[in-house]
Amino acid sequence: MTARDATRERFVAGWRTASPAETEAAGAALAGIVPPNTVLALHGDLGAGKTTFVRGLAQAWGVRGPVVSPTFNYFLLYRGQRQLAHLDAYWLARPADADSLLIEEFLEPPWCLAVEWPENLGDRLPEGAWRLDFAAPEETWRVLTLRQPT
For the chain, the residue count is: 150
Question: Would you count residue 48 as binding ligand ADP (CB under 6 A)?
Answer: yes
Each residue 70-89 as x (binds ligand ADP by CB under 6 A) or -, in order, gives --------------------
Question: Would you count residue 120 as binding Mg ion (CB under 5 A)?
Answer: no
Round to whole Å and give the CA distance between 75 and 70.
6
Each residue 39-68 as x (binds Mg ion by CB under 5 A) or -, in order, gives -----------xx-----------------
Contact 42, 53 (CB under 8 A): yes
Chain mean position to CA 140: 21
Type of residue found at 92? L
Site residues (vs ligand ADP, CB under 6 A): 17-20, 22-23, 44, 46-52, 69, 116, 134, 140-142
